């Protein structure tokens, strides 16, 4: 199956942007990544099993493209992350603190944490999106949570 | 609030400023990094002392042939160099439409001087592959990037090190020629070191 690009943009643009931002830590780069991801969807004549399959594929491609941008030598003039965070409006002080703490995590924990808490993916689904083993995802999730707990103390509950 | 709710609330603060137009997607109109002109003004590399690459340091802007990695492949291409006047230079390169990433051949000399490699042979030897000696067996080791993934190629065996290399170090074991080896990759994607030891 395939879905119209328009529908996918409306449904997933924000999610892809947030996922890309997790890696790029830069608004413009993340926006470029989202646009490139939709272009790749449009130009790749791939058939998908379900809408969930499309969503996972889009996230996977966006994450890879974001890594490409992050790793590459050529970078655009970047706005410092601290300056960008200053422009954001958080609902509470705790939200802002959580945001900054997450972005301070090592990338390999950060993206797993993001897919779990933001996209509400299961360990099995994260493993498929990131092409990792389930045990690897579990370890990263565990370590990422511990780092969050250590930093945020009572602001972060112990997950079962 | 649950952790999920807290997390989602925190990241709901992120808002994309640019509206994506369906027409742009359909027309494959990329405004991103991977197509068209990639301006590397932010990459103002500092060259200390004499440098054979930046010989025209007195000019404002000039074009040089340089070897640039496109998706891991060394390619000689025109690079516009601009003297920023303070010892720093900016570089602009046209990126082919179908390339996912680009990087320069770039090494740090023993004295700390940073130099762009323009010699394809040096590039191939120093940046795009490595021969390493382990015991009496010569192994071919290479780090390549394909489709957004970073692969460690050891004697033809491919290991996906994308995730683990983000920390700048990845280690593990592999078998070749009937023996078990331990490998360690350190550095960055542009400048990495690979060591391979025979497991005891």
Does the beta-carbon distance from B148 to A64 stay under 8 Å? yes
Residue B17 maps to a domain: no
Question: CB of A18 within 8 A of CB of A12?
Answer: no
Q: Can you give the pLDDT at residue B85?
A: 52
A115 touches chain B (CB under 8 A): no
The per-residue pLDDT of chain A, averaged, comes to 88
Of B7, B42, B149, the CB nearest to A75: B42
* B181 & B194 share domain: yes
Enumerate the residues of chain B whose CB falls inside 8 A of the CB of residue A98.
6-7, 10
User: Which residue of chain B is at minimal alpha-carbon distance from A60?
Assistant: B148
Report the pLDDT value the prediction gives residue B153, as an integer from 0 to 100: 79
**Nearby residues of B106 by Cβ (< 8 Å), 6 or more positions away:** A73, B45, B114, B115, B116, B117, B127, B190, B191
Same domain, B110 and B175: no
Q: Is B113 a residue whose pLDDT tops 50? A: no
Most confident among A126-135, A143-152, B118-127, B150-159 (mean pLDDT): A143-152
Please check whether residue B80 lies inside any domain of the structure: yes
Over 80: is that where the pLDDT of A108 sits?
A: yes
Task: Say yes or no: B92 and B175 in one domain.
Answer: no
Based on the fold, state whether residues B116 and B139 are members of the same structural domain. Answer: no
Does B103 share its domain with B175?
no
Same domain assignment for residues B121 and B166: no
The candidate with the shortest Cα–Cα distance to A65, out of A119, A21, A108, is: A21
ipTM exceeding the 0.90 mark: yes
**Does any domain span residue B8?**
no
Instruction: Judge if B61 and B119 occupy the same domain.
Output: yes
Say which range, A129-133, B1-5, B8-12, B129-133, has the weakest mean pLDDT. B129-133
Task: Give chain A positions within 8 Å (CB) of B31.
Answer: 32, 35
In this structure, what token pair is assigned to residue A36?
């490139």
* Domain residue ranges in chain A: 1-88, 90-154
- A1-88 has CATH 3.60.150.10 classification: no
What crossing angle do the helices spanning A5-24 and A107-117 adopt, rounded to 10°? 140
Predicted confidence (pLDDT) at residue B136 exceeds the cutoff of 50: no
Q: Are residues B53 and B117 in the same domain?
A: yes
Percent of chain B whose pLDDT exceeds 90 = 6
- Of the three residues B125, B159, B185, the one that is the final residue of a domain is B125
B186: containing domain: 129-198
CA distance linking residue A67 with residue A7, whole number of Å: 26
- Across the interface, do A95 and B10 touch by the CB < 8 Å criterion? yes
Among the residue ranges B59-68, B89-98, B145-154, the one predicted with the least confidence is B89-98
Total domain count, chain B: 2
Alpha-carbon distances, residue B145 vs A107, A133, B129 (angstroms): 18, 21, 12
Average pLDDT over residues B116-128: 41
Write the CATH number of the domain with boundaries A90-154.
Answer: 1.10.10.10
If you ran DSSP here, which 8-state letter would residue B166 be given? Answer: G
Compute chain A's Rg from CA coordinates: 16
Span A42-76, pLDDT tens digits: 877 778 889 999 999 999 888 887 876 665 544 44
CB contact under 8 A, A118 and B8: yes
- Domain stop point among B125, B155, B170: B125
Residue B146 lies in a domain: yes
Interface of A with B in 15-44 (CB under 8 A): 17-18, 21, 27, 29-36, 38-39, 42-43
For helices A107-117 and A123-130, give the axis angle rounded to 10 degrees: 130
Between chains, do A69 and B190 touch, taking CB under 8 Å as contact?
Answer: no
- Does residue B16 form part of some domain? no
Residue finishing a domain among B103, B125, B147: B125
Judge whether B24 lies within some domain: no
Interface mutation vs chain B, best among A68, A87, A122, most B CBs within 10 Å: A68
Of A42, A72, A78, the CB nearest to B101: A72
pLDDT band at B100 (very low <50, low <70, confident <90, very high): very low
Question: Residue B52: pLDDT band by 50, 70, 90 thresholds?
Answer: very low
């Amino acid at each position: 199956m395939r879905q119209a690009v328009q529908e996918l943009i409306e449904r997933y643009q924000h999610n892809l942007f947030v996922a890309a931002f997790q890696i790029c830590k830069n608004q413009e780069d993340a926006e470029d990544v989202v646009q490139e991801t939709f272009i790749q969807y449009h130009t790749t004549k791939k058939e998908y099993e379900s809408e969930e399959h499309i969503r996972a594929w889009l996230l996977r491609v966006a994450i890879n493209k974001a890594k490409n941008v992050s790793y590459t030598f050529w970078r655009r003039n970047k706005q410092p992350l601290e300056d960008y965070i200053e422009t954001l409006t958080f609902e509470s002080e705790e939200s802002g603190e959580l945001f900054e703490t997450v972005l301070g995590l090592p990338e390999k924990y950060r993206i797993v944490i993001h897919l779990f808490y933001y996209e509400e993916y299961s360990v099995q689904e994260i493993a498929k999106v990131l092409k990792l083993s389930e045990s690897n995802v579990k370890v990263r999730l565990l370590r990422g949570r511990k780092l969050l707990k250590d930093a945020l103390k009572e602001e972060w509950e112990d997950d079962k | 609030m649950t952790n999920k709710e807290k997390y989602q609330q925190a990241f709901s603060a992120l808002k994309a400023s640019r509206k994506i137009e369906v027409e742009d997607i359909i027309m494959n109109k990329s405004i991103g990094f991977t197509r068209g002109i990639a301006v590397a003004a932010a990459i103002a590399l500092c060259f200390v002392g004499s440098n054979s690459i930046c010989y025209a340091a007195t000019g404002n802007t000039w074009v040089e042939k340089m070897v640039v990695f496109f998706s891991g492949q060394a390619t000689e291409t025109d690079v516009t160099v601009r003297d920023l006047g303070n010892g720093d230079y900016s570089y602009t390169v046209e990126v082919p439409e179908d390339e996912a990433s680009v990087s320069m051949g770039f090494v740090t000399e023993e004295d700390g001087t940073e130099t762009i490699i323009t010699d394809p042979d040096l590039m191939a030897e120093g940046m795009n592959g490595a021969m390493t000696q382990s015991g009496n067996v010569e192994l071919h080791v290479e780090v390549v990037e394909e489709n957004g993934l970073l692969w460690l190629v050891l004697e033809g065996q491919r290991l996906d090190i994308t995730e683990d290399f983000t920390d700048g170090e990845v280690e593990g074991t592999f078998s070749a020629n009937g023996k078990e080896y331990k490998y360690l990759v350190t550095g960055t994607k542009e400048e990495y070191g690979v060591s391979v030891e025979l497991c005891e």
